Amino acid sequence: MIQSEFFPKQQEILHLLPACLSEYLTPQTEEIRFRKNLPVIFIENGRELITPYRYQSKELEHLIDRLTEGSLSSFFESIKTGYITIQGGHRVGLAGTAVYEDNRLTYLKDISSVNLRIAREVTGSADRLFQAVGHITPLPGILIISPPGHGKTTLLRDFIRQLSEKSPGIRISVVDERGELAASYQGEMQNNLGFRCDVLNGYQKSDGISMAIRSLSPNVIAVDEIGTEEDEKSLLYAYHAGVSVVATIHGDCEGNFRKNIGRLTAEQVFSYEVYLSKNSSQDRIQTIVKV
């Protein structure tokens, strides 16, 4: 049975909102979009709720200051990858004016848009996936596929929890590059990933995977949002070391994601592909395909 633990996550961000906006926050809220001098928009199940409230320049600066704990520069390496992750595992996307030096992105100024995506723990969302493959030993490689915002990270998080709690003897290393899966704070997981799980928080995938294999002896390595050449090399290293890989990637059932993981496909690192749909239920698995 699926149980949503969504609302406690939303409570964590109430302090960021003025009182006139807090009334729009519901258990179904997925995103809040702030744009300078434009209406704030709440998104629930893919539908927009447009409010009359508009953030002026100073208010938006104050919001960014609170999100980054007063140090935007300390988050900048993460910003260059597209977003930052704040305490609780919430994802914050930023848009503004890029500053380049020697053809290298060095800073972001005049921020004009903030997209706050609320992290979710949906206990039971991976039931169907676990029932399909969780009993197989060794665990086959699994790739979870969907466009952005369809629940890949939520599903991966619950699958890790189920493996960790229900599969005796399985050791899982989670390379949590942006801190979204475990939402570790001062070394403690804020999200439940089970008790057979080791979290390498903030590591680049390449460093985290090699360190896990050398020192933690995992049976399974789990990572979120693959697609770079370096990701491919690191996951091939894990596969050749005899470690099962569970990962997510942006894409759809048309298979357009394969161009980014050609070597992983050629070597059959993933035995199952899981496609998600953007529906209103918490179980967003559209199909599980054995490849």
Higher per-residue confidence, 62 vs 246: 246
* Domain co-membership, 100 together with 234: no
Name 204's Cβ contacts closer than 8 Å, sequence gap at least 6: 177, 230
In the structure, what pLDDT confidence band is assigned to residue 85 with cuts at 50, 70 and 90?
confident
What pLDDT digit, counting tens, does each position of 88-133 carry? 778 888 998 888 888 888 778 888 999 998 877 788 999 999 999 9
Strands (E), the chain: 3-4, 29-35, 39-44, 47-54, 83-86, 90-101, 104-117, 122-123, 142-146, 172-176, 197-201, 220-223, 244-250, 272-276, 285-290
Whether the pLDDT of residue 164 is over 50: the answer is: yes
Higher per-residue confidence, 210 vs 187: 210
* Domain co-membership, 277 together with 171: yes
**Are β-strands 285-290 and 272-276 bridged in parallel, bridged antiparallel, or unpaired?**
antiparallel
Name the domain count of the chain: 2
* Domain co-membership, 137 together with 279: yes
Domain boundary residue, one of 99, 117, 135? 117
The single-letter DSSP state of residue 185 is: B
* Domain co-membership, 143 together with 227: yes
* Domain co-membership, 81 together with 195: no
* Domain co-membership, 7 together with 99: yes
Whether the pLDDT of residue 6 is over 50: the answer is: no
What pLDDT digit, counting tens, does each position of 170-180 carry? 999 999 988 88
* Domain co-membership, 150 together with 273: yes
The single-letter DSSP state of residue 55 is: B
* Domain co-membership, 145 together with 267: yes
* Domain co-membership, 65 together with 135: no
Domain boundary residue, one of 117, 133, 158? 117
Whether the pLDDT of residue 87 is over 80: the answer is: no
Please report, for the domain that includes residue 279, its CATH number: 3.40.50.300
Mean pLDDT across the stretch 214-240?
A: 96
Domain boundary residue, one of 117, 148, 172? 117
What pLDDT digit, counting tens, does each position of 37-58 carry? 999 999 987 789 999 999 998 9
Share of the chain above pLDDT 90, in %: 53
* Domain co-membership, 258 together with 139: yes
| pTM for the model | 0.78
Q: Which domain holds residue 142?
A: 123-290
* Domain co-membership, 242 together with 219: yes
